[in-house]
Amino acid sequence: MPAIVIDTREQLPYSFDDSLSTQKQKALPAGDYSLEGHETAVAIERKRTGEMFSVVGKGRARFERELKKLSYYKYAAIVIEGKISDILNPSAFSKVSPKSVINSLISWSVQYNVHVYFAESRKFANIITLRILEKYWKHHGQQQQQQQK
């Protein structure tokens, strides 16, 4: 598997197993994580649960521009550090209703073909991000590499 690329703007980057290729930081066109050489084919956007209330509210237009870019990718995902039940507790984050957040996530997943994953914790979100990139490489990257030979 090629190196995992982490966007330079990522505030809290995940760390990955040392046995993987060296992680590289560079500005990605969209998303927070990708694979070297596949930066416009696969991307994962990382969000904390509280951030979902912000992107549905004040940050909606900017986030939808990001999702529009991701809609052209072969595979794109949003990995949310938290449980869906965390979103159902609106008092913890903002005045945006949980229904708006859930409906927006469902709508965006359909409209932009972006998969949404909830991870119980940051640790699990890190693992899910790695597994998505590994599976993308297994099913698309290796195949593409073999066709180029």
Mean pLDDT, the chain, as a whole number?
A: 88
Output the pLDDT for position 23.
67
Structural domains in the chain, sorted by start? 4-148 (3.40.50.10130)
CA distance 129 to 146: 24
The two structure tokens encoding residue 112: 């932009």
Q: What is the pTM of this model?
A: 0.89
**DSSP state at residue 8:** T
Cα distances from 66 to residues 28, 57, 63, 101, 104, in angstroms, run: 11, 15, 5, 17, 14
What whole-number percentage of the chain has pLDDT above 90? 66
Minimum mean pLDDT among 2-6, 111-115, 145-149: which range? 145-149
Q: Is the pLDDT of residue 108 over 60?
A: yes
Residues 5-24 pLDDT 10s: 999 999 888 988 765 665 67
Residues 52-62 pLDDT 10s: 999 999 999 99
